[in-house]
Structure formats: structure tokens, C-alpha cells
Structure 1
Amino acid sequence: MSKLRVNAFTLSLDGFGAGPHQSLNTPLGVGGENLHKWMIKTRSFHQMIGKDGGTTDTDEAFAARSFENVGAWILGRNMFGPIRGEWPDDSWKGWWGNNPPYHVPTFVLTHYKRDPIVMEGGTTFYFVTDGIHSALEQAKAAAGGKDVRVGGGVSTVRQYLQEQLIDEMHLAISPLLLGSGEHLFAGLDMLKLGYQCTEQVATTDATHVIIKRKS
């Protein structure tokens, strides 16, 4: 059965998924790039950016799991780009160049209409203006029975958690304090929402935690 998943979503030790003052120059917020030390060394990440090598350790095992059986993605608009309001033109096509790392249909939540963008490598960006439920319905249809992965950002993950729609979530807790930014769990009672921790594995650069919704 198709699942809605969050994978390889990195949080600081104090619960922030991005630092403050996100912008074109600091897309993950001030200090946010340091969250992903565990990921950027892995073989999966190296392959994603077209490089050889990378580690084959526990961090790599979780990184590789994150791409398994994914048939579609859902992204918040901030994950697609720094532009706010109406799209000024069609020039911005994401952070990742001509060949984004998704390789499947990818649905971007926004309030502003835009035509789909066909990219290299199998990624097509679709812009959804009628909310998270519509995006999920479209993504599941496009996934063809495979899972749908929510890529973020924090606000998007929180919306799906509040609606108890996420089936499984892999968080990588980085040993880093950000102090401020976008907090994933603020105001959310995960127990009342029906979630429980089912797995945890610590490495030098992260503690990997699996959270699942009780059936």
C-alpha cells in the first residue's frame, strides 16, 4: 500500500529544520547548511550530484533508504525556490539545475498558478494551488502505487502531520544547536496525533529516528 513518507529530514538538536533568515544566498537559513554533514559525505548524495565515491556506512544506509520505492514527491514552495508572491516569469526552475534529484513527478505547493516544468532525468514540477489534500491526491495518482515522499520544508511537513497523513518519518538529528529558525514540533502533540518512535540509530554526525503513525 502506498505510504506518505518523510525521509532524511534533518533537525538541529533543538528541533529546527532550517536556520533563520532564509534567502537566495542562504536557502537553509543562517547555519542551516551545517545540519547536513551526515548526508553530504554519503555515496547516495555523491551520486545525486553526479560525483563518484562517498561513504557506505550507517548514514549511507539511511540516505539510500530515503530514495527507495518513491513514485512522487511533494514540496513546499520554499523548497522549490526563494521567490515569493506571483511568479515574475518562468526563469526560476528550482535550486538544482537542469537535472533535479527527484526523477519522478514532483508537486509544489503554492498559491500562484504556473504551468508544469519538464526537467531532465524524469522530473516534472507540477504547481498545486488548492492545498495539501489535492497535492497528495495528485501525487498518489502519479506515483502508480509507490510511496509519496514529502521533501519539506518544515511548514509543509507540519501541515501533513497535523492532518495525520504522514505514515512514516525518518528524522536525522544533528548534534548542532541553531537557536532559532523553523521548529518542526512546536505546538504539535505527536502522541495525540498517533505517532510513536519505532527505531533509533546513532552515528558520529546524526541520530537517526524513525517515527510511525499507529495503525
Structure 2
Amino acid sequence: MSMGRVVCDLTISADGYSAGLNQSEERPFGDDGGDGWGDNLHAWYADPEEHRAEVDKMTAARAFIMGRNMFGPVRGEWDRPWNGWWGDDPPYHAPVFVLTHHAREPQPMGGGTTYFFVTDGIKSALEQAREAAGDGDVAIQGGATTINQYLAAGLIDELRLHISPLTLGAGTRLFNGVPPLKLEQVTSRAASSVTHVTYRVLS
């Protein structure tokens, strides 16, 4: 059976940050010049119809992988019940494999999403996601730290960046710790509040 691609989508500032400093449960994107919920960095989400093609691609994967902080704030030993940032009906509607150091039973959610908590590393998470996806794509959902690990390991085929017209100056940055990459630009589209760029990762 043929396998799908490993893709990722990430919104970043013009200077490459996916979140500002001082991330917390109340401010998951830290200091982005707004209220901390990414209202500046992710302003383009306010008009999903303008970005329908990009949004459809983001949700087309058959399985997803995310870092623990993308699921929810770091809590040591899961010290209280926590369903993540994404509410009772997350947008994935597919299996989601969460990288963590703390084991937890699978967590079914509304709409067909189930979170699986993976404690043995990025390659194990990818193997499980590939099996779940069949011949469909696997999406590395983020954040930037998780994407950087997969880029450094040479495990991403397509990188889709959504570049917001602002700078953050500090925070969590894409490509930190990643060896030099050769990228082939596949598409580029400038919209009113963001530029969408897709790269094929060659090496």
C-alpha cells in the first residue's frame, strides 16, 4: 500500500516566530501584540472563506501529530482533567497523536477526533499516525518545536507556511536547531492579511 505525504501547516510572523514570549494557559501564543490567543498572528483565520483552499488543505490529513503544548499547557503529571485547547469537538475529525513524557489513556472527543498520547518519541508517533492514515497524508500540526524535530530528522515532505505581516522579536521560532534545508517553492499566494507559501522539502 502506498503511503501519503507528511505535511505541516504553521502560521509564523515575518521574523519566523510561531508564538511570542510568556506563553501560558491564559495566553497560549504568548506576547503577539494582542490578547495572547493569537488574534494578531492568526488574524487571517477571521475570514475563512478568503482562505478556503488553505483551510481545506489543513484539515484534509487522515491523521495528525502535535506536541504536548499544542494540545494544552504543560502540567507536569496531568494534575487535573484537561481536554486540550480545542474544545469538545476539535477540528481534526481524525486520530491525533500527542507527543508527551506522561502516559495517558486515549481520549475520544466529538466529531471523530481521538487523542492518543505517545511517550516514545517522534518516530513512534509517525509510525502510529501512518498506520492510522493508511494511504492518506499525516499532518505535523505543531507547534514549531515539534515541527523543528521532524524537519531535523528529515521526516517532512511538504512545509506550508502562513506568514503574517508582523514581527515578534522573540519566542518560539521555526527552524531553530534545524540543519540547512533545500526547499522547492510549490505555490505562493498573497492575501489581505497573510502570505501562504508551500515548499517541498528536498533535503
Same fold, judged at TM 0.5 (above): yes
Query: Structure 1 residues 118-127 or 93-102, which shifts more?
Result: 93-102
Deviation at 1:189, TM superposition (A): 3.9
Matched with 2:97 is: 107
Matched with 1:12 is: 13
- Separation of aligned partners in 2, 1:109 and 1:100: 17
Structure 1 moving runs of 4+ over 6 Å: none
Number of aligned pairs? Answer: 196
5+ residue gaps, structure 2, are none
8 Å contact kept, 1:76–1:156: yes
8 Å contact kept, 2:6–2:139: yes
1:85 partner amino acid: G
- Separation of aligned partners in 1, 2:145 and 2:176: 11
Deviation at 1:201, TM superposition (A): 1.4
8 Å contact kept, 1:39–1:60: no
Matched with 1:38 is: 44
Could you say what the CA RMSD is over the residues aligned between the two structures, in angstroms?
Answer: 1.5
- Pairwise mapping of residues 171-190 of structure 1 onto structure 2 (< 5 A)? 171-190=161-180
Q: How has the CA–CA distance of structure 1 residues 16 and 158 changed in structure 2, closer, same or farther, with 3 Å as cutoff?
A: same
- Superposed CA offset, 1:79-125 (max 9, x none): 11113321114x10111221111111100000111111111111111
- Separation of aligned partners in 1, 2:141 and 2:176: 19
Deviation at 1:197, TM superposition (A): 2.3
5+ residue gaps, structure 1, are 43-54
- Pairwise mapping of residues 102-181 of structure 1 onto structure 2 (< 5 A)? 102-181=92-171
Q: How has the CA–CA distance of structure 1 residues 186 and 147 changed in structure 2, closer, same or farther, with 3 Å as cutoff?
A: same
8 Å contact kept, 1:10–1:171: yes
Deviation at 1:64, TM superposition (A): 1.7
3-state SS of paired residue (1:100): coil
Matched with 2:76 is: 85
Deviation at 1:164, TM superposition (A): 0.8
Among 55, 59, 63, the residue aligned to 1:63: 55
2:192 partner amino acid: T
- Separation of aligned partners in 2, 1:124 and 1:75: 13
- Separation of aligned partners in 2, 1:84 and 1:212: 35
Alignment partner of 1:73 is 2:64: yes
- Separation of aligned partners in 2, 1:153 and 1:84: 17
2:68 partner amino acid: R
2:138 partner amino acid: V
Alignment partner of 1:202 is 2:156: no
Q: TM-score, normalised by structure 1?
A: 0.86
- Separation of aligned partners in 2, 1:161 and 1:137: 16
Deviation at 1:157, TM superposition (A): 0.2
